Structure 1
Amino acid sequence: MNDSHTPVSRWSDLDRPPLDATALRRALVRPGTLWTSVDVVTETGSTNSDLALRAGAGHAEEGAVLVAEEQTAGRGRLDRRWTAPARSGLFFSVLLKPGPDVPVGRYGWLPLLTGVAVATGLARAAGVDTALKWPNDLLVTVAGEERKAGGILAERVGEDAIVVGIGLNVSLRQAELPVPTAGSLALAGAASLDRDILLRAVLRSLEHWYGEWRAAGGDPVLSRIQETYAAGCATLGRTVRAQLPGDGELAGEAVAVDGDGRLVVRTADGERHPVGAGDIVHLRATD
């Protein structure tokens, strides 16, 4: 029993054991595979920022993975902050260098590709259905409602490298959610909350889809990324409002993801508008 004078360590939650960095390296870093290093740190501001600095200084190869047990300044799209209790999720970044075989114009598929990889990896390892909200949100169903359980942020480093960051709520309880619309694998009834298993599954899935896409020269059709993303995208077929850069706005039905990874929105007048950047709000039929 703890007495009132015994400090409660933030690392004392037995439901949230630390990641086993040695076992992760043994399982993932092998000759002939994509992953070249796996580092786990106790705490950092942002794994994306840290890995980008390493890459910029020439201290990280393609396939480097940086995982944090806790992020204090994690970033999402539009400079949103991402925070969660220590060891309650998976917060990690990977360094990718598509190389000369993939045109720079197709790099925009990387966050969508990562979404496919995360969703398929979690379906296999956690038995949970993860839907994709364009362009890079990961959704789970909690009590019949869609909730955001994760997100993806891809950032360019130099001429030929991309750092892709993934944040995923794993064991967050209802009272720990940052906002009521957030979710977690635990709240979605996942069969497994073992973060070692989940991380291995997601990274192996990412290696597979990235390899297919790269072998196809970044072609989203030949690599099957476009059709697989569309099949798992909860945004398609929905009435949406797109909040565009510069305070513009567009409302209509999301009808497709085009060859450049843009969301195609059909407005009431029948016109189709490709949206390459912006915030997408799913609207209810009555909105």
Structure 2
Amino acid sequence: MTPQDASDAHNNRWSDLGRPPLNGAALRRALVREDGLWADVEVVQRTGSTNTDLAGLVTKENADEGAVLVAEEQNAGRGRLDRRWTAPARSGLFFSVVLKPTGVPVERWGWLPLLTGVAVAAALARTAGVDTALKWPNDLLVTVDGEERKVGGILAERAGADAVVVGIGINVTLRAEELPVPGAGSLALAGATTTDRDTVLRAVLRSLEEWYGRWRDALGDPVASGLQEAYTAACATLGRAVRAELPGGRSIVGEAVAVDGDGRIVIATEDGVQEPVGAGDVVHLRAV
């Protein structure tokens, strides 16, 4: 195969028949409704980061709430703490959405990544038959060969004065030899009943629309909307011994005992102090 042949094969959306391309027109017909949240669904073959692209549209063109951008491949995808997110073309779902929670106090916007996790986990369980747990604050976990593996992540970023761009990445058909790190997984490796990305994406966006609407109607109240209860039930971090790496280089070790009303994880240390953590990297040490 010549270098040009290799390039053509990479750029051909049908080069891997087990990973067919998404149909943007069909997704728009299924998801965009006059009275619904989703205003548009655009599918691009390749981009650096869907979050970066949508945030730019918000700040430059005041993109509407409900804009959805899906990339078949990202070459500069980002997770929390600027970690890279890479995967083969069409092996997963890599997309971002614009949310403008008008009427919800800004101090409650921190629930949006947790809300997204609840919505995604519900959709994956219902559609793909995969039990999905949530690692605070933004990781999606599945079980592969008896081990806890990360199947996806969520990144929420402020864009302009009134918008949040929420990015979601889910490994769908990644094979064992394609996993970027030992702790990664995919829906396929977790025994999903379907790996049809079109079906999974529709389910995730519908679930997100439902949970976002419930939360926004409750003016962001995590109790009244049922969000705090649902997140607590799905959170694999609770009841675990954890280490939280905090901004500034400080770390604390203890048991994760609660998620408080601000969406923070509360860690009980050996000194008997319960410390809420709102930002940082949490590592699961062992089951308690």
1:207 is paired with a residue whose SS is helix
2:83 is matched with: 80
Distance in structure 2 (CA, Å) of the matches to 1:270 and 1:14: 56
The residue identity in structure 2 corresponding to 1:28 is: L
Q: Is the counterpart of residue 17 in structure 1 residue 15 in structure 2? A: no
Q: 277-286 or 90-99, which moves further after superposition? A: 277-286
Q: Deviations over 1:62-100 (max 9, x none)?
A: 00000000000000000000000000000000000000x
1:132 is matched with: 134
Residue 59 of structure 1 deviates from its aligned partner by 5.0
Distance in structure 2 (CA, Å) of the matches to 1:22 and 1:159: 31
Q: Is the counterpart of residue 103 in structure 1 residue 101 in structure 2? A: no
Of the candidates 278, 281, 286, which is equivalent to residue 279 of structure 1?
281
2:208 is paired with a residue whose SS is helix
2:207 is matched with: 205
1:38 is matched with: 41
Residue 269 of structure 1 deviates from its aligned partner by 1.8
Distance in structure 1 (CA, Å) of the matches to 2:241 and 2:148: 15
The residue identity in structure 2 corresponding to 1:18 is: P
Residue 58 of structure 1 deviates from its aligned partner by 2.1
Q: Deviations over 1:89-127 (max 9, x none)?
A: 00000000000x200000000000000000001111111
Distance in structure 1 (CA, Å) of the matches to 2:141 and 2:135: 7
Residue 285 of structure 1 deviates from its aligned partner by 5.2
2:68 is paired with a residue whose SS is strand
The residue identity in structure 2 corresponding to 1:271 is: V
TM-score (normalizing by structure 2): 0.96
Runs of 4+ displaced beyond 4 Å: none
TM-score (normalizing by structure 1): 0.96
Aligned sequence identity (%): 72
Q: Is the counterpart of residue 63 in structure 1 residue 61 in structure 2? A: no
1:7 is matched with: 5
The residue identity in structure 2 corresponding to 1:53 is: G
2:225 is matched with: 223
1:138 is paired with a residue whose SS is strand
- Does structure 1 conserve the Cα–Cα contact (< 8 Å) formed by 2:239 and 2:287? no
Residue 243 of structure 1 deviates from its aligned partner by 0.6
Distance in structure 1 (CA, Å) of the matches to 2:160 and 2:128: 36
Distance in structure 2 (CA, Å) of the matches to 1:129 and 1:203: 18
1:54 is matched with: 57
1:250 is paired with a residue whose SS is strand
The residue identity in structure 2 corresponding to 1:258 is: D
Please list every run of 5 or more consecutive structure 2 residues that lacks an aligned counterpart in the other structure. none
1:84 is paired with a residue whose SS is coil
Q: Is the counterpart of residue 26 in structure 1 residue 24 in structure 2? A: no
The residue identity in structure 2 corresponding to 1:151 is: G
The residue identity in structure 2 corresponding to 1:276 is: G
Of the candidates 175, 189, 193, which is equivalent to residue 173 of structure 1?
175
2:236 is paired with a residue whose SS is coil
2:177 is paired with a residue whose SS is helix
Aligned residues: 282
Residue 60 of structure 1 deviates from its aligned partner by 1.7
1:284 is paired with a residue whose SS is strand
Of the candidates 249, 252, 259, which is equivalent to residue 250 of structure 1?
252
Q: Deviations over 1:185-219 (max 9, x none)?
A: 01000000000000000000000000000000000
The residue identity in structure 2 corresponding to 1:157 is: A
Residue 36 of structure 1 deviates from its aligned partner by 0.3
2:155 is paired with a residue whose SS is strand
Please list every run of 5 or more consecutive structure 1 residues that lacks an aligned counterpart in the other structure. none
Residue 162 of structure 1 deviates from its aligned partner by 0.3
